[in-house]
A and B are shown apart, each in its own frame.
Chain A
Amino acid sequence: MSVYYSEDHEWINVEGNVGTVGITDYAQNALGDIVFVEVPEVGDEFAKGDEVAVVESVKAASEIYSPVSGEISAVNEELEDNAALVNTSPDGDGWFFKIKISDESELEELMDAAGYKAFIAGLE
């Protein structure tokens, strides 16, 4: 099991060939209070970089881009009633969806925790 990060502030936690995807604490903090999350449907297929979900905060609506290519195998239905989970637990209960990764080599283009930490430090 290992966690990767994208420049669009998504994390993907990979177990076997399935990755659980959410947004980082940095992202939820920048977005502010989240009021609505639109997740994809199980079975939908996306290429890396496709718009896969939408997150709306009191400030703005933002797209979530798929960090890898693959097929959606599960979505977090809790978010429909309780979008605040993304604020309270961005890297836990506030996950968005699980994706069956079709090309594991794409993970190599993502950052590890240390790399992401340096990346956001550069944004300040």
Chain B
Amino acid sequence: MMNNQGRPTSADGAASTNETGFASYTGSRGLSQVEGLIYEIGDTNRTGVDLPEVEDFDNYLGGMERTAEIGLAGLTEPEAMRHYTRLSRKNYAIDLGLYPLGSCTMKHNPRLNEKMARLSGLGDIHPLQPVSTVQGALDLIDTLAHWLKTLTGMPAVAMSPKAGAHGELCGLMAIRAALEASGDARSIVLAPESAHGTNPATAALCGYKVKPIPATKDGRVDLDAMKEALGPDVAAIMVTNPNTCGLFEREIIEIADAVHAVGGYFYCDGANFNAIVGKVRPGDLGVDAMHINLHKTFSTPHGGGGPGAGPVVLSEALAPFAPIPYVIAGEETFELVEHEVDGGQSFGRMTAFHGQMGMFVRALAYMMSHGADGLAKVAEDSVLNANYVLASLKDVMTASFEGPCMHEALFDDRFLKDTGVSTLDFAKAMIDEGYHPMTMYFPLVVHGAMLIEPTESESKQSVDQFIGMMRHLVERAKAGETERFTGAPFNAPMKRLDETGAARNPVLRWRAGEDAAE
């Protein structure tokens, strides 16, 4: 008996009925195989490997050793392998199709990057190896740092942060250290409504009080409101540029000047650097600190199969406070500075080691294979693709703001008015069409937001097919085929989830013999 804990099924219970109407014995639909939880496949009474009986032996645990059964399911190797392979086939991935998740920059990771990352001298080394044996790796980190500084026009970079939000934390910690070093600890960080959600979270984690700045009607920072909020207690402003509405903050230099005028720092969220790389140098805009998500701009895999990488470029004023460790190029060799020198002002260490090597290799491979002119082309193509989507859909969907966008196109739900279809329903219907939905209900500044970011990875043919699919769905929604949306997805391995039930009564662990339906 299949344990159905926490599992949604279709309302009519006909999840496994195929087009001809018969139900299969296994519940599978051809190659769309039903897969149970790992505890349902294996059980605790068997094991996939033969191990000799363990003889009694003395231990040093002082009677603290576990005597109860561990209760892990025993599976054979093919069972374990099939389990995860079958699960992976239910996943959507950039390797399967266009991934329009706005704000996430789901771009293709060129296979050249993977080849480079697997080179033995880069892939099989250990952070605790003697520095003399990893000179090539340190050279690579130093070269990547050089590229990042050049592309951003900034004098320094901290390589160790493991992700975008970690980079934000690094930047704010550097700002706090700089302020405290000058005896001017402040308490407020300004965060516009069009900023990434992690910005206010980072500021709060750093101990600052967050003051939101409203957006204008055209989706940008309200400059007057910002100036009003500025004062001697403002440590920094965190601005995402291009912002989460997919728009360039045109008054960015005025924002920087204004915050500098009151002695605060300008943190730029560089998550959307993809849209401006090779075109705009943040250092020229007055930025003091900015993180770069290597996975978004330089095509490393999201999450990286482990920690990601979010290096932070720093201005002259903040550079002395950068975290350790860092790489310096000596006359003949590269060195890894593990301890702050006497009198140094580093705010400390954020990670055990120097950063995420696998991501560094992929990012540098991407940069070097594109070259400086190629990276500018990346920005152009990502903006072109997004504007093509915007221009091709705005006659049937409602664009939230006038004029062209940057790397992502933002729509709201006005076009669905009186159709009985919500943004959520529309997104679910996209799954039936074989697409991952776009980002929805974000940014919060527009109603029922749909944020589409095709990225530069997609060919015109691929974007055209996506546009065609979207226009088709809009047409169906307006034609009154409401149920096709409100009940969607119908073709996915799992049907419509009860999101409210999942959040109100979450089932957080599997227990033998329990069934949510009982």
A residues with a Cβ closer than 8 A to B are: 33, 35-36, 56, 58-60, 83-84
Contact = CB atoms under 8 A, between A and B. Distances in A.
A94 to B, nearest CB: 14
A16 B504 CA distance: 36
A35 B441 CA distance: 17
Contact of B504 (A59, A60, A84): A84
Contacts, number: 16
15 contacts: A33-B499, A33-B500, A33-B503, A35-B500, A35-B503, A35-B504, A36-B503, A56-B503, A58-B499, A58-B500, A58-B503, A59-B441, A60-B444, A83-B504, A84-B504
A106 B503 CA distance: 37
A84 B505 CA distance: 12
Interface in B472-502: 499-500
**Nearest 7 Cβ contacts at the A-B interface:** A35-B503, A33-B500, A58-B499, A59-B441, A35-B504, A58-B500, A58-B503
Interface string B496-516: 000110011000000000000
A35 B504 CA distance: 5
A91 to B, nearest CB: 21
Q: Is the interface of B mostly helix, strand, loop or mixed?
A: helix
Interface of B: 441, 444, 499-500, 503-504
Contacts of A84: 504
B506 to A, nearest CB: 9
Contacts of B441: 59-60
Contacts of B499: 33, 58
A84 B500 CA distance: 10
Nearest to A63: B212
Contacts of B500: 33, 35, 58
B247 to A, nearest CB: 21
A103 B500 CA distance: 39
A43 to B, nearest CB: 22
Contacts of B504: 35, 83-84
A17 B500 CA distance: 37
A45 B232 CA distance: 26
A36 B441 CA distance: 18
B70 to A, nearest CB: 34
Contacts of A36: 503
A27 to B, nearest CB: 13
A40 B342 CA distance: 47
Contacts of A60: 441, 444
Nearest to A35: B503
Most B CB contacts (10 A, CB to CB) among A35, A60, A84 go to A35
